[in-house]
Copies of this chain bind each other. A is one copy, B any other.
Amino acid sequence: MINYPNRKSVNHSKVINYSRRGMSLEEDLNLTNKYYLEVDRAVIYKKPTPITIVDVDYKSRSTAKITEAYFQTPSTTDYNGIYQGLYLDFEAKETSSKTSLVLAMIHPHQLEHMKKILNHKGIAFIIVRFSYYDETYLIFAKDLFEFINSTKRKSIPYSWFKEKGILIPYSYQIKVDYLSVIDSHIVGGKI
């Protein structure tokens, strides 16, 4: 068992953490979802990046080559799936800021999508990593909407995450163990 330094500690260990891990939130979530799938705990996938394909070279049929395509703006969140009969839906954002998350990082139609998920009795949330602090928070959609509706601010301060967010535990095996947060907040299928 390797003795990893505490993730939320003084600067020198943070430096060690960065070089040790060097992984983005997306990579950590992919590993986490893969682990959940392998141990049959949940079935959650990141959706493929939506693109518009303009031209494909079919010279070799087995390896059709896309030669012109463009990125689309996603109309939903990036992740969804099923956990204990519940529909889970979330978006993940990473920021290097020490002070806040810029709200523009979450598209308006993604917020709309999360509202619809709540209306249909799904579990919607965002996962936000402050890479400077090496902290990853889970924010339930209803708390996010409360913040947005209560202010005209264009960013969410870090202090708000410390207050309203739930710090997601990290382990070597489960990089972003967000289901443990869901476990401790679900009562009768509801948050």
Contacts and interface: CB of A to CB of B under 8 A. Distances in A.
A68 to B, nearest CB: 7
- What number of copies of this chain does the assembly contain? 2
Nearest to A50: B48
| Nearest 5 CB-CB pairings of A with B | A85-B121, A48-B50, A66-B69, A82-B87, A48-B48
A133 interface: no
A68 B67 CA distance: 5
Interface in A18-59: 37, 40, 42-43, 45, 47-51, 53
B76 A45 contact: yes
Interface string A56-78: 00000001111111111001100
Task: With a 10 A CB-CB cut-off, give which of A64, A66, A82, A120 has the most chain B CB atoms.
Answer: A82
Contacts of A71: 64, 66
Contacts of A116: 37, 40, 43
28 contacts: A43-B113, A43-B117, A43-B120, A45-B75, A47-B48, A48-B48, A48-B49, A49-B51, A49-B53, A51-B66, A63-B70, A64-B70, A64-B71, A65-B69, A65-B70, A66-B66, A66-B69, A66-B70, A66-B71, A67-B68, A82-B87, A82-B121, A84-B120, A84-B121, A85-B120, A85-B121, A85-B189, A87-B87
Contacts of A50: 48
